[in-house]
Amino acid sequence: MGLSKRIFFPILTALSAILSVAIFSLPVLGSETTTADTVTQMNVWQAIVLGFVQGATEFIPISSTAHLKAVPVLLGWGDPGVAFSAMIQLGSIGAVLWYFWGLLTEVIGGALAALKRSDYQDNNFKIAVGIAVGTLPIVFFGLLIKVFFEDFYENSVRSMTMIAFASILMSVLMGMAEKLGSRKRNFDKLSTRDGILMGFGQLLAIVPGASRSGSTITTGLFMGLERETAAKFSFLLGIPAITLPGIVGLKDLVETDLGNINSLIPLIAGLISSAIFSYLAIAWLLSFLKTRSNWIFVWYRLIFGIAILGLISAGILQNI
């Protein structure tokens, strides 16, 4: 185990370098990449299907962003776009609030009570601060991309090639976390430091295909958290991280054609579908991780990434 930990950081550095090269070489490699003008209007049936895809993959560590891009492209529907994808993510927020309402009220209420009595060692206070501070990195870099690099992100980073690379690299990291993680700490042992570190791990989710839940659960496992605890904390940390892009997506849609009934009805259908299937996915994953490992997701991500690259190479799938 000692040797494995010593070689982990050089491997992680190498993987990060590869990922960085992949991101910034995409404008050259992705000659078939199209522009944001290829974003298409979804009908009600398509929105329900995409709501299912969003709900089934947001909290399971296989990347909802990757599947929301890959599934409609594979089905010939085109790219639903960042705004639509972000909006139906709000259905997932509704589901996580619904599922964890009791835990959320306990954490927030306990944190406020601890603040009043200046008990900064209280566990609920540490968790609340960890979630708040852990959200700052992705908010900062998300805004940075939105303001300065939106065109590059939309037209190049969200390409199918990037999704494939990110999925493969995250499968490697998740597999390493399964091997190296001690899995000794439960929810009662969480600290502010865990929220901060998991927040930085969440930054990987900016890259489509990396997966917000995948990156945070993987980070949690590296920090020695139990699988179920890592997943539960990942879901709580995801509330602000998923809500903010959804609000931005709402603004973008309002500025375009949200008032069009032909756009509004599919959006509502997608939101409802996303909420239902997100709730079911949360319940399933927490039950699954009580007795099982993440290896099924490791292998799925690896196969998913390789399959996308194969389809692109064969000319079956466009690199949009």
Say how far apart CA 109 and CA 100 lie, in whole Å. Answer: 14
pLDDT band, residue 158 (cuts 50/70/90): confident
For the entire predicted model, the pTM comes to 0.82
Q: How far apart are CA 270 and CA 265, in angstroms?
A: 9
Strand partners, 166: none
pLDDT tens sequence across 94-130: 999 999 999 999 999 999 999 999 999 999 999 999 9
Question: What are 265's two structure tokens?
Answer: 């009805």
What pLDDT score was predicted for residue 214?
94
What pLDDT, on the 0 to 100 scale, is given for residue 252? 64
- Residue 60 belongs to what H/E stretch? none
Q: Can you tell me whether residue 48 is helix, strand or coil?
A: helix
Those residues whose C-beta lies under 8 Å from the C-beta of residue 86, and which sit 6 or more positions away, are: 245, 246, 248, 249
Domain spans of the chain? Answer: 44-70+86-313
Structure tokens at 89: 């993510």
Structure tokens at 174: 């998740």
Tokens 């589901």 map to which residue?
95
Amino acid (1-letter code) at residue 235: F
